[in-house]
Chains A and B, each alone.
Chain A
Amino acid sequence: MLNTRRGRLFKENLTAYLFLAPAGILILLFGLFPVAFAFFVSLHRWRRFPDSYIGLANYEKALGNLGYILFFWLALLVLAVGLRVIRQLSKSLRRFELKRQVIPLLAGIVCGYAVLLAVDWFFKLIPVIMLIPRQVRGQNVSLELFMEKFGESFSNPGVYPAGNLMLAGFLAAAAALALAAWRFRSESCGAVIVRSGMATAALLSAVFLLRLTLDETNLAIAAARDSGESLPIWSQLVFVSAGIFLIASAYIIFQRGIRAQSNRRFALLVFSGLSLAVGGYLLMAEAPAALASADDDLLQGFWVTIMYAGGTVPVQLAIGLLLAYLLFQPIRFRSFFRMVYFIPYITPFVATSIVFRIIFDAGKTAPANRMLAIVGIEPQRWILERSSIGSLLGLPDFLAGPALALIVIMIYSTWTYIGYDAVIFLAGLGNISGELYEAARIDGANGWRIFRHITLPLLSPTIFFLSLVAIIGTFQAFTQIWILRTGAVGSKVNTASVYIFDELQNSNRYGYASSMAFVLFALILLMTLFQNRIMGRRVFYG
């Protein structure tokens, strides 16, 4: 049987899945499942062990009313994804007779629904299972006891009906799939099933999210009314959304205006500027109110993260590019330089952070202060300094900038990553064909113009990759801050990640920490998308 073509294909598939199985199981367990699980935990009061369901209260605590607004947007986003899939679906439906597509369509819908039922069952089961370690604590843990508890959790009154529903759903899905495969085989059958399933799942999740958000919002408003206050979530939702919508559309118009050749361009520019101003005004007026009851430490964490990224990423990329460009010239000892530049990146961050801790000590004779003394600047308190760099330089308040202690961490971080950036830039430079330079030189281009019009555009994919890596890196930064922060500075250097970790380590608030982590995740995704739009357009994939 295994010698036929089908048999060989089957065997190849089987071997491949066997090869993939260990990695797949581990990635499912430690890579994909955690995201859904973190979301689930964030909807609960959860201190080491699952407690009660509290809806969006954790998000409300983290971001104030903006938490609800974010969930409206999330629901709309999922809805948009569903609608997009439906558009694709209708395209592939139009290409064939509708009559032959009905059964696959239905099969897809049933499958999508069954998957949602399975998710529902799974997340009803999880908290019950998570309680097992607490139930068996103190007893002599044996496999029998554990398995008994494990079996009991399936017949738990909260879980059992959902399990039955899921089984029914899967039976229906299997029947529908079999019918589709038996009676209605066609080219588009598979695509129709997959797309209708995805559309069903996305639309139903969007409905679920919308209802969750609506219920929670109404509850919050009712609770506020009972205590005699008003909670203007709706107006804030409208205003903040309108503000962002206006800014986004202003941006698009602005882009078009720049590209337009005619006189209309100027009018468009003025119009976009106006709507930008109006949108910005609306946002400015309402966003602080929406954030009024937010967690100040978390907001500070986001602000620190943004300053940290803004202060390190451009600097380290620029210096890395400069070094790589110099290394690329015909010079001696190139591999020596490359090896040395890479050292800060590979040595353990804890050890090098400790050196920086000593170099930037507050003492008058510490290395950094000695160097300042040579230039004639009075000693600074560096890692112990919570005043901002702006106030130290005597600038007005709105130019305050990061605390000096954070500047030290930024210097450390730049020092660490320059070599990595340089090595990757060097590889990118090596990939540019020498003929292009040859041609440019024959055309009489000088060094700067060659760099500006040949090297830089052809290097843009590398720049894009490195800036993405660097930005994600700043959101992950932990070790250097852990070592370089001091009690005197307080939370002035805590990025969002560090604050979340503190919350987890010191107060065991798993639910709250999860919700904050999720907000951070959303922010990273948003920034990545934004960067993709902005830089992706300028990236030249020759």
Chain B
Amino acid sequence: MASDRTGLRPPVNAKAPVEAPRPPIDLGRIAIYAVLFAGVLIAIGPFLWMISASFMTLSEVNLTRLLPENLLWENYATALRRANFLNIEVTSDPATGVLQSLGISGYIWNSIRITLITVTGSLLVCIPAAYAFARMNFIGRNFIFALFLSTMMIPGIVMLIPHLLTVIWLGRLSESLFGPAGAWFNNWPALTIPFFASVFNIFLLRQFFIQIPDDLWEAARIDGAGHPRFLVSVVLPLSKAPIMTIVTLGFIGSWNALMWPLLVTINDEWRPIAVGLSNFVTADTPGDLNLQMAASVITVIPILALYFVAQKQFTEGIAQTGIKS
């Protein structure tokens, strides 16, 4: 085990070979596993009960049964319908069966759209900026970088009002340019554009770009490539891990967003899933706990699926942000 070299053995274990040649039971080790498994239980216990409760009848939830008597799959159908999570309307020509129109709506669809726009926009904006900070020399580089970083300190609540006013004003401007479709308020621009230039993403990418060896750049320059070319054909293919982290984080971020969407959406057309779920629980179905659990499970599943796919790079990426300065 590689960790034996760097790792710190528990005191009991370290002394064990000297005092007793063959320890029958390693108590320290058992204690460690006991604590760690207790941690696992606490971490995922609420999820397990959430899944279990989502299949129960209401009275079973109220009595806190551990497992449902029958699996009530219809809870999910009801939750999907009542919470307006996902509606797919397929209209096809009754005579020929040819698909005529496909209408998708609902909070999940909204969140997916918002996520896609946010993540794409964020990558387009942050990658060049991070590259410039990491690999180019220009006047005022450190000053601008410090300025960018300082905005991370400002609490969101201070930004809320100016953002709202800016969004309303820019929305008016773009409405006069593009007509009603260009509105910002209660439309995708208000929900996505303010989050394109994420300082955290720029920081994450910069940390990675700095580590790319200079030899690669020298070789590319001799071959006649400039910075844009080098970025696209050498740096980006090497940066799958941080980009994956950013995509995952962006997904989680838009799935979590509650405060800002509460302010800038007034109907279901672009309202994301967190607002939908929150309304479903606090306003629509105050008593239907089993439906609330089903709706929560539906909300959690896409995030968990993404997490299990990307978990290795993602956890590494997050861990890196904590120790590099």
Contact = CB atoms under 8 A, between A and B. Distances in A.
B10 A447 contact: yes
A251 interface: no
Contact of A483 (B9, B153, B278): B278
Contacts of B137: 12, 16
A100 interface: no
Contacts of B325: 461
Interface string B247-263: 00000100110110011
Contacts of B64: 365-367, 370
B155 A472 contact: yes
Interface in B196-223: 196-197, 199, 202
A427 B322 contact: yes
B78 interface: no
A347 B300 contact: yes
How many residues of B sit at the interface, in one of the four size bands?
35 or more
Contacts of B252: 346, 348
B292 A12 contact: no
Interface in A118-143: 129-130, 132-133, 136, 141-143
Given A447-B11, A520-B155, A431 B138 contact: no
Interface string B288-299: 010011001101
B120 interface: no
29 contacts: A12-B227, A13-B139, A22-B125, A22-B197, A31-B151, A34-B162, A35-B154, A132-B172, A323-B39, A326-B32, A342-B315, A347-B300, A349-B258, A349-B274, A355-B47, A355-B49, A363-B62, A415-B43, A419-B43, A423-B315, A447-B8, A447-B11, A465-B322, A476-B155, A478-B258, A482-B278, A514-B158, A514-B161, A517-B157
Q: Mostly helix, strand, loop or mixed at chain A's interface?
A: helix
Interface string A337-349: 1111111101111
Contacts of A130: 165, 169
B18 interface: no
B176 interface: yes
Interface in B155-192: 155-166, 168-169, 172-173, 175-177
Contacts of A426: 319
Interface of A: 12-13, 15-20, 22-24, 26-27, 29-35, 37-38, 41, 129-130, 132-133, 136, 141-143, 145-147, 322-323, 326-331, 334-335, 337-344, 346-352, 354-359, 363, 365-367, 370, 415, 418-420, 423-424, 426-428, 430-431, 434, 437, 441, 446-448, 450, 455, 461-462, 465-466, 472, 475-476, 478-479, 482-483, 496-497, 500-501, 504-505, 510, 513-514, 517-518, 520-521, 524-525, 528
Contact of B11 (A141, A323, A446): A446
Nearest to B297: A351
